[in-house]
Amino acid sequence: MSRDAASGSLQRDSTSAFAILGGTPAFAEPLHVGRPNIGDRDRLMARIDGMLDRAWLTNGGPLVREFEESVARILDVPHCVAMCNGTVALEIAIRAANLRGEVIVSPFTFVATAHALQWQQITPVFCDIDPRTHNLDPNRVEDMITPRTTGIVGVHLWGRPCAIDELTEIADRRGLGLLFDAAHAFGCSYKGRMIGGFGSAEVLSFHATKFVNSFEGGAIVTNDPVLADKARLMRNFGFADYDEVSYVGTNGKMPEVAAAMGLTSLESRHEFLEANRRNYEAYRAGLAGVDGIELIVHDDEDLVNLQYVVIEVDEAAGLSRDDLQRVLWAEGVLARRYFFPGCHRMEPYRSFFPHAGLVLPEAERLAGRVLSLPTGSAADPEAIVVVTELIRQALAIGPQLRREMRTAGKADADLSAPWPLSAAS
């Protein structure tokens, strides 16, 4: 959304000027966190026309094969197995890696990471996170291992790599499987190597809101030819040949139209990255020196897709994270509190492990502080100037704003999604 869409004055020098207390919203139309990157529409439509001319819509068509080859080449891995979505890809990777019993995983991730285990009657054992990286704390992982533990699933949150070396050492020494949920990390690297080639396998998401998207889609990438062959069987009902089923499987195939979008998106990934970098730098400049706001930074030594702009909000500044989110929503800035309240506080896990929070202090703390801000090719620096000024001005009068929000009954406003979930994730 451009600056032209901002309808209200940026001057919020009094509480009544904020939209939550009756002022004019800064944005006439909502500014979403994750509006999809589209890429070259003509190239996309040409691919779709070719697909229709061939009348080959699914079942491993030429576009899916080309997409797999392109992803494997970019990530420098020998095997890419495209899937209908990232969750099914994760489920199949878990099964192909023969994980069972208990698997150690972060509680601070999208719930699909835990569900992919629980769906297969594998118990997700939630391990606390490193407050600096927001990823699994390797110093805590070993404490969670029991005789039933068969593996570890690390999550490269915000595209920042896990402690890969430390987790690999633990997995190798204890004889555990190691997978990585790389849904946030396409195009990112670790110590000069592309994310995708670590552990037994890594799982990618190409959901509509991801840096590179295929409408809906996912993939397993791996250096292991045996695991890759098993995954290919599993995604197609276990069919090894035309009339031969040799394995238990499901329908995880990526359709051709999704691969058409994926290929088009791959071609524009440098343009998307430039938009993300431009937006990230605008946030860095706009939030510099704002007390109570910590922008999540990335290691400049490695590649990063900058697909998420994430801040931590310190309530000591005068507004809580939820207060600030309510203020922004009223202004038309639909910031998201990823990944609130943590998997361990969602069902069925909160019933299974009602006291999990006692051993997850860092995840508990972070779940109350994180806010994800709009970025991507649908945002621009002019809009981001508006967003950062709103944050800056809200915190400048934070205590007074908070009091008047409570007086007006706005401090307990529902923070469930006020927009169609199809619009942004």
127-183: per-residue pLDDT in tens? 999 999 999 999 999 999 999 999 999 999 999 999 999 999 999 999 999 999 999
10 Å Cβ neighbour count for 407?
11
Q: What is the Cα–Cα distance from 337 to 324, expressed in whole angstroms? A: 11
The domains of the chain, with CATH numbers, are 3-37+269-335+374-407 (3.90.1150.10), 41-267 (3.40.640.10)
Q: Looking at residue 317, what is its pLDDT?
A: 84
Cβ atoms of 105 and 153 within 8 Å: the answer is yes
The DSSP string of 174-218 is: HT-EEEEE-TT-TT-EETTEETTSSSSEEEEE--TTSSS--SS-E
Using the predicted structure, report yes or no on whether residue 5 has a pLDDT greater than 80. Answer: no
- According to DSSP, the residues that pair with 103 across neighbouring strands are 124, 151
| Range 205-222 average pLDDT | 97
Which residues make Cβ contacts (< 8 Å) with residue 255, sequence separation at least 6?
57, 58, 64, 84
Q: What is the Cα–Cα distance from 376 to 36, expressed in whole angstroms? A: 8
10 Å Cβ neighbour count for 403?
13
Binned at pLDDT 50, 70 and 90, residue 377 comes out as confident
- According to DSSP, the residues that pair with 105 across neighbouring strands are 126, 153
For residue 339, say if its preceding peptide bond is cis, omega within 30 degrees of 0: yes
| Range 193-215 average pLDDT | 97
Degrees, nearest 5: CA angle 67-73-74: 90
Rounded to 5 degrees, what are φ and ψ at 235?
-75, -10
Helix residue ranges, H only, 55-129: 62-75, 86-96, 112-118
Q: What is the Cα–Cα distance from 106 to 310, expressed in whole angstroms? A: 18
Q: Which of 10-19, 105-114, 184-193, 285-294 has the lowest mean pLDDT?
A: 10-19
230-279: per-residue pLDDT in tens? 999 999 999 999 899 998 999 999 999 999 999 999 999 999 999 999 99
Binned at pLDDT 50, 70 and 90, residue 411 comes out as confident
Binned at pLDDT 50, 70 and 90, residue 414 comes out as confident
Q: What is the Cα–Cα distance from 117 to 155, expressed in whole angstroms? A: 14
